[in-house]
Structure 1
Amino acid sequence: MFNFLKKKETEDHVQYDESGIDAGDLVDKKRLSENMDEEVFTDLSIHPEWQLPEEEVYVYRFLNNDLPPLRPNQVSVHGVEIKPKDGGLVVESFVRNSLAKGIQLKPAAILVLDKQSETVARKTFDLNAVGTIPGRSSRPWSFLFPPSSIINKEGEIPVHGWRLAIELKKKPAKHKLDLEESWSETLESEEVEKLDRFVDSITPPKPGEMNFLSLEARQVDTGDLHVTLLLRNGSDRDLAMKHLSLRVEDAFGEVAAEGGFKLKDLEVKANTSKPWTFIFPPKSIKKDELDLSKWKAYPLQK
Structure 2
Amino acid sequence: MTFAGYGKQSTSFRKTGQLVIVIAPYICSTMHAALNWVWYSKAIDENELPGGPGLLRSLTHLPAWLEGTGDSFFVLNIFMADCVFIWRCWCVWNRRWKVVVLPALATITGLVLGGIVISDQVIKLRSLEPFVVAKKSRDFVRLSTIYFSLSVATNLTTTLLITLRIALVQRSAKKAGTRTHHNFNPIMEILIESAVLYSATLLTFVVLNVERNANLYYAQNIHAQMVSLTLLPCSDSDRVQLIDRLCNSRTRLLVIVQSRAASSKFLF
Question: What TM-score, normalized to structure 1?
Answer: 0.22
Please give the TM-score of this superposition, normalised by the length of structure 2.
0.24
Give the number of the structure whose residues are more often helix, by fraction. 2
Larger Rg computed on CA atoms? 1
Structure with the bigger percentage of strand: 1
Which protein, 1 or 2, shows the higher relative CO under an 8 Å CA cutoff with sep ≥ 6?
2
